[in-house]
Amino acid sequence: MTAARPALPDRHPSEAPPPAVMTAAATAAGPRAVAALDGVVVAYRDRVVLRGVDLAIAAGERVALVGPNGAGKSTLLRVLAGLVTPSSGTVTLGGDPVATLDRPAIARRLAAVPGQVTFPFSARVEEIVALGRLPHEDPFRGPRAADRAAVDAAIARVGIERLRGRDARELSLGERQLVLVALAVAQAAPLLVLDEPTVHLDLRHQVAVMELLADLNEQGGTTVLAVLHDLALARHFFPRLAVLDGGRIVADGPPDRVLSRERVRAVFGVDVALTGGPPGR
C-alpha cells in the first residue's frame, strides 16, 4: 500500500541564508500535515535552542533531519512529541495542536524510536516489542488478540524473527536497534520518528536500518522523520533533507540541492564534496 506522495514544489524554501522565517512550508504540505512546526522557539533561561523553526511533513514522506552537534535536532524531536513546550510557535500532529493532545493521543500519532536504551531487567525480544502496543492496550485486561497479532506482524516486518525468545540484553547494538524499531512499528502510528538510530552501529546494521525505514515508508506508507548525523547515509536513503543549524532550518529539500559543497562548508565547517547516487535507490 503506497500512499500518494506529494511532489516537492519548486518554490520549496531552501537556500536562503538565515534568518528566514518560512511559513510557506506548512502551507505547502497541506493543512493536515502529519506533523508541522510553525515558528517554534524553544528558549531556556540561559540559551535559545530553537529560533523559529518551520518544518512540515506530509503523509508518506521520508525526511532526514541533519545538522551539526548542538543544532537542536533532538530538541526539535522532543518538541514534536510534546515533551518540550515551545516558548512560542505552534506544533501540530495530524492537524491538531500538540498542546491539546494528551499523551495517549500523541502516542497514537507519533511513535518514537529512542537512540539509547538500557534494560534494567532481562526481557525477551517479543516482550520489548509488545510494549509498542501500550497505547492500544486495555488498561486493565492488557493485550488482546489484535495486539498480539500486531506484535507478530511487527517482528516479521522488521525481519527479526530469528531473535524471538532471546534476552534483549544479550543482543548486539544493531539487533537492539532493530528491536526498538519493531516496537515502534507495533505502535502503528502514522509517523515514525527516530533520533540518531545508527549511532554505534556497524555498517551492515546501519544499512539494514536505513533499508528498513525506506521499506516501511515506501511499502507501508509510514511517514518517517529521522535525525541523522551521517550525511552520506542521509543523502543516500532520504529523498528530503532538512538542515538545522543554530536553531533554524536553513535548508529543506532534495539532498542534491541541500547538500551542495558550499552548504556543507557553511553549516558543518568542513570542505567536502558528497557523492553518491540520487535518493531512492
What does the binding site for other proteins look like in residue numbers (CB under 8 A)?
81, 83, 102-108, 110-112, 114, 117-124, 127-128, 131-132, 134-135, 137, 139-140, 142, 165-167, 169-170, 187
CA distance 24 to 29: 9
113 neighbors 193 (Cβ within 8 angstroms): yes
CA distance 245 to 66: 9
Which of helix, strand or coil describes residue 138? Answer: strand
The smaller minimum CB distance to other proteins, of residues 106 and 243, is found at 106
The least CB distance from residue 138 to other proteins, in Å, is 9
The smaller minimum CB distance to other proteins, of residues 121 and 204, is found at 121
The smaller minimum CB distance to other proteins, of residues 64 and 84, is found at 84
Cis peptide before 19 (omega within 30 of 0): yes
The smaller minimum CB distance to other proteins, of residues 168 and 249, is found at 168
Place of cell 510534546: 82
- All three cell numbers of 51, joined, read 529560533
The least CB distance from residue 144 to other proteins, in Å, is 13
The least CB distance from residue 280 to other proteins, in Å, is 28
CA distance 8 to 22: 16
Residue of 278, 238, 279, 263 lying closest to 57 (CA atoms): 238
**Residue 175: enclosing H or E segment and its boundaries?**
helix 173-187
The least CB distance from residue 115 to other proteins, in Å, is 10
Q: Measure Cα distances from 192 to 30, 34, 49, 181, 226 in Å.
A: 19, 10, 23, 9, 8
The smaller minimum CB distance to other proteins, of residues 26 and 110, is found at 110
Amino acid letter for position 172: S
The least CB distance from residue 107 to other proteins, in Å, is 3
The smaller minimum CB distance to other proteins, of residues 17 and 120, is found at 120
The smaller minimum CB distance to other proteins, of residues 83 and 149, is found at 83
220 neighbors 1 (Cβ within 8 angstroms): yes
The least CB distance from residue 66 to other proteins, in Å, is 22
Q: Is 186 left (phi over 0), alpha (psi -120 to 50) or beta?
A: alpha
The smaller minimum CB distance to other proteins, of residues 65 and 112, is found at 112
Residue 68 carries which DSSP code? -
